[in-house]
Copies of this chain bind each other. A is one copy, B any other.
Amino acid sequence: MSYKKLDKLNLTLDAYSHALAILGVDEATIMPEGGGNARSNAISTLAAISHENATSPEISNWIKEAQDSSLSEDKAAGVNEFKRLYEQNICLSADFVGKKTQAAMNCEQLWRRLRPTGDWKAFAPALKEVVDMARQEAKIRSDATGLLPYDALIEQYDPGTRMAHIDPVFSTLKEFLKDFLPKALQKQEIRHRKTPIKTLNGPFEIKHQRALGMAAMKQLGFDFSHGRLDTSHHPFCGGVPSDVRITTRYEKDNFLSALMGILHETGHAQYEQGLSKKNSHWPHNKARGMGLHESQSLFVEMQISRSPMFWDWAFALVSEHLGKNVLEGFDVEDVLAHVNLVKPGFIRVDADEITYPLHVILRYELERDLISGQIEVEDIPTAWHEKMVEYLGLDTKDNMKDGPMQDVHWPAGLFGYFPSYTLGALMAAQQWEAMIKALPKAPEQIRSGNFSSINEWRSKNIWQHGSRLSTPELMKQACGQELNPDAFIRHLKTRYGS
């Protein structure tokens, strides 16, 4: 009956996740300002109770007993994945978690205050404490799992992915991008000289932008009986698989900003909506991890929605919702000039498809070396500057605000998370090539706004597997090859090359 106990526990944990997800979405979308304190208290209380439930010592016996009984393949997969999470959850003592949370909260609050002025000196001591806790955590997790310390951190976000996979891939990619970026910029420059980029004919009413976004979501396969589109300060995909809430923000004069954001989040949402509905409270039926999740959003955003064939179809959709005169004088190439504009800059979240991975590789290299102790917090500004000059030709000396103080991840203690973004981009390109092999007509289908076969392929190869396989195993099975940068490089060459 140990399996039954685990089943009941998972139902309980799922109820907490459900509440926390919806409370979070409500907070980010419509909660009035004054509701914040009580909301934070409710969320932290429920999160703590849920964590207590998930880490109760008796669970260890239930797992053992369940694994010793004869379970169906599916149930065994559930117990295995639950065990992995349980071990991840219990390896830190409550005391350590308290200290870690305290350090991160201090640092994040300080970061919010100091970021606008970029006061690194005042910020660095708090970050040092967070890094110190992250090193201890990596050591503890390493001892518990037998993984290398930084790998043990990555394991939380991207199960199965190791530095040994990432290092050679990122190294190849970096060398390619450093060489490719100036060429792509030059090509773009020539194009702009011949055909200047056209100004979008705004302003665009938000309700029309929203209707356009929803029409695109619907066509791509978003199920509005199990989800919504709302507005928030930062776009995200939240909620639960049966009720996926995606958000965007609107710019009055640039409808492409919200639309591209919506398309990205739609990719995330499809993964959630596409998970198995049976025993959805068990962890093996939940999404695999950050990297694979990002591959789903980027697949829709980069492989599909920034392509010429997509715009062959979407062009008319834009006119339908925003008015015929909006794209007057534009052809598909003019829209693509907007959505595929390359522009090296300081800020990761504003980066384009070519420069984004360089931002991520920079952070990956720094945090990997921070965790191993090869560099210290005080070395970050110089290292950051040197890498920015080398990778993007940008000087960030004395510009901490637009340099190492731009992201929330490190102050919040999220080490091991950054590589997921670019692993997602690489996996999306690999999935695209594998899919095209199986569905050579996919580009033609996109051109006519038909995404059903594409979604079937994604469902069968990615979504339906939930967390039954590790990320590398799932990719191997779906694409017939290990993680590698070749497909992504080919994709960039096709889109931005000469």
Residues of B within 8 A of A144 (CB): none
Task: Report the minimum CB–CB distance from A75 to chain B (whole Å).
Answer: 20
- Distance, CA A411 to CA B97, complexed state (A): 48
Residues of B within 8 A of A240 (CB): 35, 38
Contact A42 B18 (CB under 8 A): yes
- Distance, CA A15 to CA B22, complexed state (A): 14
Q: Give A205-240 interface residues, CB cut-off 8 Å to B.
A: 223-228, 239-240
Stretch of A23-31, A110-118, A463-471 on the interface side: A23-31
| A11, CB-defined interface residue at 8 Å | yes
Task: Report the minimum CB–CB distance from A238 to chain B (whole Å).
Answer: 12
Q: Which residue of B lies closest to A16 (CB)?
A: B46
From B15, B18, B38, B243, give the contact of A32 (CB < 8 A). B243
| A375, CB-defined interface residue at 8 Å | no
From B15, B31, B280, give the contact of A46 (CB < 8 A). B15
Name the interface size band of chain A.
35 or more
Q: Mark A24-62, 1 if CB is under 8 A from B, else 0.
A: 001000111111011101100110010000000000000
Residues of B within 8 A of A225 (CB): 32-34
Given A23-B22, A26-B22, A243-B39; A226-B15 close (CB under 8 Å): no
Residues of B within 8 A of A30 (CB): 228
| A19, CB-defined interface residue at 8 Å | yes
Residues of B within 8 A of A227 (CB): 32
| A445, CB-defined interface residue at 8 Å | no
Task: Report the minimum CB–CB distance from A158 to chain B (whole Å).
Answer: 26
From B15, B42, B241, give the contact of A14 (CB < 8 A). B42
Task: Report the minimum CB–CB distance from A42 to chain B (whole Å).
Answer: 4
- Distance, CA A224 to CA B46, complexed state (A): 26
Residues of B within 8 A of A223 (CB): 34
| A67, CB-defined interface residue at 8 Å | no
| Number of identical protomers | 2
Contact B31 A243 (CB under 8 A): yes
Residue of A19, A33, A228 contacting most chain B CB atoms (<10 Å)? A19
Q: Which residue of B lies closest to A49 (CB)?
A: B12
Residue of A14, A16, A49, A243 contacting most chain B CB atoms (<10 Å)? A243
- Distance, CA A33 to CA B243, complexed state (A): 9
| A242, CB-defined interface residue at 8 Å | yes
Contact B243 A45 (CB under 8 A): no
Residues of B within 8 A of A33 (CB): 225
Residues of B within 8 A of A18 (CB): 23, 38-39, 41-42
Task: Report the minimum CB–CB distance from A27 to chain B (whole Å).
Answer: 9
Contact B26 A242 (CB under 8 A): no
Q: Which residue of B lies closest to A35 (CB)?
A: B243
- Distance, CA A30 to CA B25, complexed state (A): 12
Task: Report the minimum CB–CB distance from A495 to chain B (whole Å).
Answer: 35
Task: Report the minimum CB–CB distance from A29 to chain B (whole Å).
Answer: 9
Contact A41 B11 (CB under 8 A): yes
Q: Which residue of B lies closest to A19 (CB)?
A: B19
Given A32-B228, A33-B225, A225-B32; A243-B38 close (CB under 8 Å): yes
Given A22-B26, A228-B30; A15-B42 close (CB under 8 Å): yes
Q: Which residue of B lies closest to A280 (CB)?
A: B38
Given contact pairs A19-B19, A22-B22, enumerate 6 new A-B contacts (beta carbons under 8 Å): A15-B42, A18-B41, A19-B23, A19-B42, A30-B228, A35-B239
A-B contacts, 30 listed (Cβ < 8 Å): A11-B41, A11-B45, A12-B45, A12-B49, A14-B42, A15-B42, A15-B45, A18-B23, A18-B39, A19-B42, A22-B22, A22-B23, A22-B26, A23-B23, A26-B26, A32-B225, A32-B226, A32-B227, A32-B228, A33-B225, A34-B223, A34-B225, A35-B239, A35-B240, A38-B240, A38-B241, A38-B242, A38-B243, A38-B280, A39-B243
